[in-house]
Chain A
Amino acid sequence: MASYSTNEFKGGLKIMLDGQPCSIIENEFVKPGKGQAFNRVKIRNLMTGRVLEKTFRSGETVEAADVVERELQYLYSDGEYWHFMDNESFEQYQADEAGVGEAAKWIKEQDQCTVTLFNGQPILVDPPNFVVLEITETDPGVKGDTSGGGGKPATLETGAVVSVPLFVQIGEKIKVDTRSGEYVSRAKDE
């Protein structure tokens, strides 16, 4: 099994910790002049997203996590699984609810997503940074009010709810930043 020594630690390295795949965020070398050296590491558990600290004795080795990131196309959801495909190999992957996580409320069929695979299974889905989605429900606003003052909730075709300016109407398409969940602009039809 592949393993890494603490000397290989750096941001982004994927290791196994207590049976869970983790990604190193920060690695600090700590050593008293005349004493034991340690690596104090900040780690993200890729299954739970939780950030934790871990102290290793320098020179120790840890098991590598079989984690890769792939650009995959979102195909469809059957309610239980979200199906993705590698456009080059045509290999398909299915993410469960935990695997798709928050991305479920942003992605539409044919969107390209960055999917983190652990032992071949999707555990993390990063939607595109910006998505264009149609508003399916929102209170009627004041026509002609483009001042942008104030906002109202709007439900999008994927089920996500975002705050939009008062002038935006049902049936319009808007651009949303998926990292912040915020409205960016009205999207012009191409």
Chain B
Amino acid sequence: MDWRPGADLSALKARAGMLAAVHGFFAEAGVMAVETPLLAPAAGTDPAIEPLQSRFTGPGHPHGLPLYLQTSPEYHMKRLLAAGSGPIYQVTRAFRDGEAGRRHNPEFSILEWYRPGFGHYALMDEVAALVQHVLGQVLPVRQCAYHELFDTTFGIDPLTEPTERLAALAAERCLGVGADLTLERDGWLDLLLTSCIEPELGQGELTFVTDYPASQAVLARLNPDDPRTAARFELYLNGLELANGFHELTDADEQRSRFEQDRTARRANGQPDIVSDEAFLAALQSGMPDCSGVALGLDRLLMCVLGEDDIRRVQAFPLDRA
């Protein structure tokens, strides 16, 4: 039985150093540390993210209360914002079913923070500052719109290119894509992005990808000047997706309709239904301050710190050793 950790001692020390740097950064910035539940009766509806489930049996719940392991602390943190918390951050674990590999572990560390009064560009500046603080290194920072990436790499506009042309482009440019692969429009965009664009993103620099298609808005508001795109960004460093941020949607009705769209998609895909989080919707209804928020994968940031290309060597006990 190999009982030893997957990460060596120097990686564990680097992790401790990273955590100290993160907490120091937010203490300095006057952002409050918070904790929210890892187990809750509601979960995100995003069809691309599958929660793991658990069950509590005990006082008040003789027949068992189904609880989801949280895929991110987003809804609870937004409830704190609606309750008037002001700027908050959290370092916590997040859980996702179905995800394991060189860059994924079903349980991972997430740094999530919210900034009332910030637009997403102001938040990107802070993300860049945090990452450079942790890396102990100043890196060039670049912003590039999603559609610009597709224009540069393929000469197409991802917002208007017909789906069958995206499929043909994938067959031509991505390795191992045959006629047997069937995907939705956003699936083809994801394939083109991960196969042909992502490996080159953020080489020696922090690259923020902005203005995602509205169909990939998730919990971001749409850009008022071009509602075909969303006020969402992602950060890449050395080809690794590190963070995802939004200028947050605060409209409860719009949020409710996005939940319903997700649930419709889940039904169509044969995925388990997940009911909308009514507590979160009620918080939005009561009023959440205009804010931007971001979630950053700490294990992946540590991979960048250490120049590691496998998440299993930066976690003490990844799945196969847990």
Contacts and interface: CB of A to CB of B under 8 A. Distances in A.
Interface of A: 7, 18, 28-38, 40-41, 52-59
Interface in B84-103: 98-103
Interface residues on B, range: 20 to 34
A154 B7 CA distance: 52
B183 A57 contact: yes
B46 interface: yes
8 contacts: A29-B101, A30-B103, A30-B194, A32-B194, A33-B297, A37-B48, A55-B195, A58-B98
A55 B177 contact: yes
A34 B177 contact: no
B190 A33 contact: no
A32 B98 contact: no
Interface of B: 46, 48-49, 98-104, 174-178, 181-184, 186-187, 189-191, 193-195, 198, 216, 218, 234, 241, 244, 297
A32 B102 contact: no
A4 to B, nearest CB: 15
Contacts of B193: 32, 35
Contacts of A53: 175-176
A30 B218 contact: no
A28 B297 CA distance: 19
A3 to B, nearest CB: 14
A35 B216 contact: yes
Contacts of B194: 30-32, 35, 38
A58 B198 CA distance: 19
A174 B191 CA distance: 53
A17 to B, nearest CB: 9
Contact of A32 (B100, B101, B182, B241): B241
Contacts of A34: 46, 48-49, 216, 218, 244
A40 B102 CA distance: 12
SS of B interface (majority): loop
A55 B244 contact: no
B176 A41 contact: yes
B99 A37 contact: yes
B101 A52 contact: no
A65 B107 CA distance: 33
Given A32-B194, A32-B241, A37 B98 contact: yes
B246 to A, nearest CB: 10
B191 A55 contact: yes
Nearest to A18: B178
Contact of B190 (A35, A52, A54): A35
A52 B48 contact: no
Given A34-B216, A35-B194, 8 more contacts: A7-B98, A29-B101, A30-B103, A36-B48, A36-B184, A55-B176, A55-B195, A57-B181
Contacts of B102: 28-29
Contacts of B178: 18, 54
A55 B101 contact: no
Contacts of A28: 101-102
B249 to A, nearest CB: 14
**Most chain B C-beta atoms within 10 Å of own C-beta, residue among A7, A32, A40, A59:** A32
A181 to B, nearest CB: 31
Contacts of A30: 101, 103, 194
A29 B104 contact: yes
Contacts of B297: 33
Contacts of A38: 190-191, 194
Contacts of A40: 175-176, 195
Contact of A36 (B176, B191, B241): B191
Max chain B C-beta neighbours (<10 A), residue from A35, A54, A56, A59: A35
Contacts of A52: 176
Contacts of B187: 35-36, 57
Contacts of B184: 36
Contacts of B191: 36, 38, 55
